Amino acid sequence: MLGELTERDRAILALETAWPRHGGAKEEVIRAQLGMSAARYYQLLGRLIDSEAALQYDPMLVRRLRRIRDARSFQRAARTPGFVG
């Protein structure tokens, strides 16, 4: 349900949507626009893209971010000794 997203949640998703159009360091934009550290931003983003509310709000973005996260997770696991994929 859209009502479950906070203003901060929508701002995080908006930043992810707009990021390819911005230059400079993303961490600086995160701090300037959202007033939080990059580490906190990525914690919140990780939880947010797992939420049904975010998926309903911006399905293309959330699915893209999930695919990226899952691919990176698989790549990390593949580098782990003893991994059988």
pLDDT digits (tens, 9 = 90+) for 59-77: 999 999 999 999 987 777 7
Range of the domain at 55: 7-75
The two structure tokens encoding residue 68:
């990226």
Note the pLDDT of residue 75: 77
DSSP code of residue 51: S
| Segments of the chain scoring below 70 in pLDDT | 1-3, 20-24, 80, 82-85
Total domains in the chain come to 1
- At position 66, the amino acid (one-letter code) is R
Note the pLDDT of residue 73: 78
In a domain, 1, yes or no: no
Q: How far apart are alpha carbons 57 and 16 in whole angstroms?
A: 13
Nearest to 14 by CA among 51, 41, 37: 41
- The model carries a pTM of 0.78
Q: How far apart are alpha carbons 27 and 5 in whole angstroms?
A: 23
Helix (H) or strand (E) holding 78: helix 59-79
Note the pLDDT of residue 21: 63
In a domain, 80, yes or no: no
Note the pLDDT of residue 24: 65
In a domain, 84, yes or no: no
In a domain, 51, yes or no: yes
SS3 72: helix
In a domain, 81, yes or no: no
